Amino acid sequence: MNKRFYLTTAIDYVNGAPHLGHAYEKVLADVIARVHRSMGGEVFFLTGLDEHGQKVQQAAQEQGKTPQAYCDELAVQWLAFVQKLGLSNDDFVRTTDQRHKDVVQAILSKLHAEEQFYKKPYVGFYSVREETFLTEKDRNPDGTWDAKWGQVNELVEENWYFKLGQHQQWLIEYIEANPGFIQPDYRRNEVLGFLRSQTLEDLCITRPAARLSWGIPLPFDPGFVTYVWFDALVNYFSVPVSLGDEGALGALPSAFRKQLPPISLWPADVHLIGKDILKFHAVYWPIMLKALGAPLPKTLLVHGWWQKDGAKLSKSTGNVVDPIAVIDEWGLDAFRYYLVRELGIGPDGNWTDDGFKSRYNAELANGLGNLLNRSISMLNKYRGGVVPAQSDELKPEAVVALKVIEGKLAAYDLQGALVEIWKEVNRANLYIEQTRPFSLAKDPAQAARLDAVLYNLVETCRILAVLLWPFIPATAEKIFAQLNVAGSPADWKLTEWGGLAAGHTIGTPIPLFPRKDLVPK
Ligand code: MSP
C-alpha cells in the first residue's frame, strides 16, 4: 500500500468569521494537494476547526448556549466557507469529534504512564484572551499589562506539566540534521535561535475544570481539562488513527485498531501554518510526538501574514477583506489566483483592491482570457474550428518552461510557478503579434503558415489549462470545454506537446474573465 501525501492546514478557531488569512492558507494547501493529485500522487488533505477553550466557553455563555451548540452553529459557516473556496479536502476535523477526543485522551494516558507529566502549583498571572500564563517579564515597566493580553487575572492553582525541557537538546539536533523540516530557511533559523538562546520551560498542559470546563477531560485526574494547544495539535494525528492508519496506530494501545480498509498517512508530509503558530508546531508538537514514540512530520511550511492597505487586518477598525464578498463579485478563480500570485509562501503580503483589480484585468482578462478568446476565434474564423496538422514551433519553449514550472512546484514556490506560467501566456500573446495570423489569412500563399500558427496557439491554450488546473480549476475546465477536449485537465501527463489532433473540432469562445473596468456599475 502506498503512503499518501498527507497535507494539513492549521485548524481555525471556531469563534470568529473566516477571513482573508484563513482563505489564503486553505487555498495554498488546496493548490499543493491538486498539484500532487494531478501528478498521479495519492493525497490526503485535512483541514478543520479548533473548538475548545475559554474564549468559546465565554462566548457561548454570553449567548446563553451550550458550548457544543455554539460550536455546531459556527461549524456550519466554516464548512460552507470550505466549499466556497472550492477546496478538495478529504476530511474535516473538529476537535469536538469523539474520534479526536479519544486519541487525545489515549496520548495523555500513555505519556502519564510513562511519567512524562508532573503536577505542581502555579502562582501568578493569566491572560484569558491568549489563554496563557504570564510572568513579571511580560509586564510593562510601569506595572500595567499590555492591551494584547486582554483581561489579566491573578491565579493560584495547581496544574499538570509536560517535561518539555528535557528534550531541548534533542530538538536542536533534530532541526539541524533535517534542513527541510522547517521551511523557509529563515523560519528554521528563528526556531534554532530561540532554542539555542533560551531555556525551554516545561509546558502546562491542563486547566482546572472549575475555571474552564470546555475542554477534553484529563483521563487520569478529573479535576482538569486539556490545554487547547495540546488538544489542537493532536488533530493531525487523531484523524489518521480514526481511519486505521498503521503509521499512527503504532504509537497507541491496540484497542484503537479497528477493522478498516488499509490507509497509510502518518507521518504528515506537510503541515501548512502561519508564522504566528510556529513555536507550537516546531517546538511543542515534535516533542509531543517524540515522547509518544511516533515519527515526526516531514515539513512545516510556514507562510506569512496578510495586511490590507499596509495595516493589520482588524475587525474592530474595519480593515478587513471579506473573502466571500470578493468571490461573489469577481469569481472564485480570480480570488484564488490573486492570493497565490501576489504572495509567495514566506513573507508578509499586502492586499489592495487596486492591486487585485489590476491583476484581474491585466493578467486574467487581458492575458489569459484574451489569448484563449483570440486563439479559438481565429481557428473558428479561418479554419471552421478544425485543428490543422501538428506544428512544433512553440514546443521547445513549452518543454523548457514545463521543467522550470515543475521545479518551482517541487519547492512549494507556487507564486514562482504562476510567474512562469504567465510567461507562456505572454509568449503566446506575443506570438500572435509577431506572426499576425489576421494578415496571413488574407494571403492564400500563407495557408500552411497560418495552419502552423493556429495549431501552436490552441495547443498552448490546452497545455495552459493543465498547468493551471491546480490553481484555478474551474477556469481550466472551461478552457478544456471551449477547446472541446474530452476529459479533465487534472492530469499532468497532458502537459505533453501534441495533445490536440489534426481534424479535432473546437468549440466556441466565451470570455473567461469578463473585463470589469468596461462593465458599468
Ligand atoms: N487554532 C489555531 C491553530 C491550531 S493548529 C493545530 C489558530 N487558529 S487561527 O484561526 O487563529 O488561525 C488559523 C491559521 O490562519 C493560522 O495558520 C494563522 O497563521 C492563519 N492566519 C490568521 N490570520 C492571518 C493573516 N492575516 N494572514 C495570513 N494568515 C493568517 O491559530
Which amino acid, one-letter code, is at 344?
Answer: G
The answer to whether residues 391 and 455 touch, using CB atoms and an 8 Å cutoff, is: yes
Which of 8, 22, 95, 301 for mutating ligand 1's site (highest number of atoms within 8 Å of CB)? 22
Which of 129, 230, 234, 277 best tests ligand 1's pocket when mutated (most atoms within 8 Å of CB)?
277
- Per-residue exposure over 150-164, b if at least 16 CB sit within 10 Å of its own CB, e if not: eebeeeebebbbbeb
CB of 13 closer than 6 angstroms to any ligand 1 atom: yes
* pLDDT above 90: residue 372: yes
C-alpha cell read off for 431: 506570438
Q: What pLDDT shows up at residue 257?
A: 87
Does the structure show a pLDDT above 70 at 349?
Answer: yes
Q: Identify which of 327, 343, 501, 516 has the alpha carbon closest to the alpha carbon of residue 418.
A: 343
pLDDT band at 265 (very low <50, low <70, confident <90, very high): very high
pLDDT exceeds cutoff 70 at 404: yes
pLDDT, position 224 = 98
- Nine cell digits for residue 316: 474592530
Q: Return the residue whose CA atom lies nearest to atom 13 of ligand 1.
A: 12
Does residue 226 or residue 260 have the better pLDDT? 226
Cα separations (Å) of 387 from 16, 75, 340, 390? 52, 49, 33, 8
Q: How many CB atoms lie within 10 A of CB 389?
A: 11
* Least confident span in 247-261, 314-328, 465-479: 247-261
157-207 pLDDT, tens digit each: 999 999 999 999 999 999 999 999 999 999 999 999 999 999 999 999 999
- Which pLDDT belongs to residue 517? 63
Identify the band that residue 521 occupies on the pLDDT scale cut at 50, 70 and 90.
very low
Nearest CA to ligand 1 atom 19: 274
Question: In sequence order, what are the beta bridge partners of 156?
Answer: 123
Q: Pick the closest to residue 274 from 239, 313, 247 (CA basis).
A: 313
pLDDT of residue 518: 54
Least confidently predicted of 165-174, 260-269, 459-468, 509-518: 509-518
In this prediction, residue 128 has a pLDDT band, given cuts at 50, 70 and 90, of confident
Say which amino acid occupies 359.
Answer: R
Per-residue pLDDT tens over the stretch 431-452: 999 999 999 999 999 999 999 9
- Please give the Cα distance from 500 to 460 (Å, whole number): 10
Pick the range with the lowest mean pLDDT from 34-38, 133-137, 348-352.
133-137
Ligand 1 geometric centre to CA of 25 (Å): 8
Please tell me if the CB atom of residue 306 comes closer than 6 angstroms to any atom of ligand 1.
yes
CA of 46 from ligand 1 middle (Å) equals 15
Kindly give the distance from the C-alpha atom of residue 465 to the centroid of ligand 1, in angstroms, as a whole number: 31
- Provide the percentage of residues in the chain whose pLDDT is more than 70: 99
Ligand 1 pocket check for 21: Cβ under 6 Å: yes
Convert the pLDDT of each residue in 46-100 to its tens digit.
999 999 999 999 999 999 999 999 999 999 999 999 999 999 999 999 999 999 9
Start-to-end Cα distance in the chain:
55
pLDDT of the residue at 122: 84
Closest atom of ligand 1 relative to the 275 alpha carbon = 19
Nearest CA to ligand 1 atom 9: 12
Q: Is the CB of 233 under 6 A from ligand 1?
A: yes
- Whether ligand 1 lies within 6 angstroms of the CB of 329 is answered as no
pTM of the model: 0.96
Query: Would you say the CB of residue 320 lies under 6 angstroms from ligand 1?
Result: no
> Phi-psi category of 48—alpha, beta or left, where left has phi over 0 and alpha has psi -120 to 50?
left
| Residue 16 banded pLDDT, cuts 50, 70, 90 | confident
Give residue limits of the domains in the chain. 5-303, 353-518
CA distance linking residue 5 with residue 42, whole number of Å: 6
CA distance 11 to 82: 12
- Residue 51 CB less than 6 A away from ligand 1: no
CATH 3.40.630.10 fits 353-518, yes or no: no
- Atom 6 (ligand 1) nearest CA: 233
Q: How close is the Cα of 21 to the center of ligand 1, in Å?
A: 7
Question: Ligand 1: does its nearest atom lie under 6 Å from the Cβ of 454?
Answer: no
pLDDT for 91-121, tens place per residue?
A: 999 999 999 999 999 999 999 999 999 999 9
- As given in the structure block, the three cell numbers for residue 492 are 499532468
Q: How many other C-beta atoms are found inside a 10 Å radius of the C-beta of residue 141?
A: 5
Q: What residues contact residue 25 under an 8 Å CB cut-off, 6+ apart?
A: 9, 10, 272, 273, 274, 303
Question: What is the DSSP pairing of strand 12-13 with strand 132-134?
Answer: unpaired
Q: Are 474 and 86 in contact (CB under 8 A)?
A: yes
Atom 7 (ligand 1) nearest CA = 12
82 residue type, one letter: V
Q: What is the CATH number of domain 5-303?
A: 3.40.50.620
Residues 6 or more apart from 11 whose CB is under 8 A from it? 47, 48, 49, 50, 93, 95, 232, 235
